[in-house]
Amino acid sequence: MVSYLVIMNRAWVLFKSHPYISNVVGYTTLFATADLIQQSMVGKAQGKGTVHKLDREGQDPSNTSIEEFTVAGEAKTDDDSKIRDSEGNKKASAPVQHAPQLHSINWAQTARVALVGFCFHANFNYHWLRGLERMFPGGGIRRVSLKVFLDQLFAAPMTISAFYIGLSTLEGAEDPLEDWRTKFWTSYKTGVVYWSTMQAVNFSLIPPVARTVFVGVVALGWTVFLCHFKQQKSDFLT
């Protein structure tokens, strides 16, 4: 417990001594981590319930081996894999086999997310939050509400747009604005509900020196959503 408090105290001293570096590096790290989480979640989802059907000779087209295959009168099988012909003789049906898939991390994608997070989101949020505090210092319901309103009015559209357009540009998309056109409005409406609450907590309880990295922590779940939403096909959403 004592060592934990010492570490936290040193971390706080670091934040106060080097607020820009600490906030920007912390935010970028969390931003990239969100993409890794998203890819891991997608990989686990793809690995569940992958189905391979066997051909009539009992061979899996995907080269997945099995121990038994039912042939009439030659091997034991569950009732679900048996069918009967018109004369009542048992026939073998093709069983279904579940095979796990290994999902590898696309590190190039994570690097692109980290680059967008570092070049725009981390730096923008750092200066934006500092500017808001200088213009409207202190807490109170009215000041906090005003800062939340301005944040959602100006910062939210800019950060969402930078995410979609920036990543599409780095991916070499023919139309870098395609994802932005089809997904911006849904992302923005979802973000208003999520970020209004989180920023109210940020402006009320978090010291100004640590607000950017707090946004990075809160943005972890938000960026997982954006990364996953960006991978969805545009024609499916329209």
Which token pair is 63? 């080269």
Sign of CA dihedral 62, 66, 72, 74: positive
Better-predicted residue by pLDDT, 30 or 78: 30
The span from the first CA to the last CA of the chain, in angstroms, equals 53
Q: Please determine, for residue 28, whether its predicted confidence score (pLDDT) is greater than 50.
A: yes
Residue type, 24: V
Tell me, what's the pLDDT at 174?
92
Report the distance separating Cα 153 and Cα 178, nearest Å.
Answer: 23
Domain assignments of the chain as residue spans, ordered by start: 2-47+102-237, 51-99
Report the distance separating Cα 163 and Cα 23, nearest Å.
Answer: 19
pLDDT tens readout for residues 149-160 = 999 999 999 999
Report the distance separating Cα 115 and Cα 99, nearest Å.
Answer: 36
Q: Please determine, for residue 2, whether its predicted confidence score (pLDDT) is greater than 90.
A: no
Report the distance separating Cα 94 and Cα 114, nearest Å.
Answer: 47
Report the distance separating Cα 116 and Cα 102, nearest Å.
Answer: 28
Residues 6+ apart with CB under 8 A from 231: 42
Tell me, what's the pLDDT at 74?
46
Per-residue pLDDT averaged across 207-233, rounded?
Answer: 87
Report the distance separating Cα 68 and Cα 109, nearest Å.
Answer: 41
CB 171 within 8 A of CB 230: no
DSSP 210: G
Tell me, what's the pLDDT at 134?
93
Identify any residues that bridge with 96 across adjacent strands, giving them in sequence order.
Answer: 53
The three-class DSSP label of residue 53 is: strand
Better-predicted residue by pLDDT, 94 or 18: 18
Identify any residues that bridge with 92 across adjacent strands, giving them in sequence order.
Answer: 82
Tell me, what's the pLDDT at 153?
95
- CA-based angle 97:101:107, to the nearest 5? 170
Tell me, what's the pLDDT at 156?
95
Tell me, what's the pLDDT at 238?
44
How many residues does this entry show for the chain?
Answer: 238
CB 52 within 8 A of CB 97: yes
Tell me, what's the pLDDT at 3?
66
Residue type, 106: N
Which token pair is 65? 């081996």
Helices 2-17, 19-47: crossing angle, 10 deg rounding: 120
Which of 17-26, 49-58, 169-178, 209-218 is predicted with the least confidence, judged by mean pLDDT? 49-58
Neighbour-count burial of 162, counting CB atoms closer than 10 A to its CB (0-12 exposed, 13-18 middle, 19+ buried)? middle
Tell me, what's the pLDDT at 103?
59
Q: 233: pLDDT confidence band, cut at 50, 70 and 90?
A: low
Tell me, what's the pLDDT at 231?
82
Per-residue pLDDT averaged across 206-232, rounded?
Answer: 88
Tell me, what's the pLDDT at 42?
76
Q: Please determine, for residue 168, whether its predicted confidence score (pLDDT) is greater than 90.
A: yes
Residues 6+ apart with CB under 8 A from 5: none
Q: Please determine, for residue 11, whether its predicted confidence score (pLDDT) is greater than 70.
A: no
pTM (2 d.p.): 0.69
Per-residue pLDDT averaged across 11-16, rounded?
Answer: 66
Tell me, what's the pLDDT at 23?
84
Tell me, what's the pLDDT at 100?
44
Tell me, what's the pLDDT at 152?
96
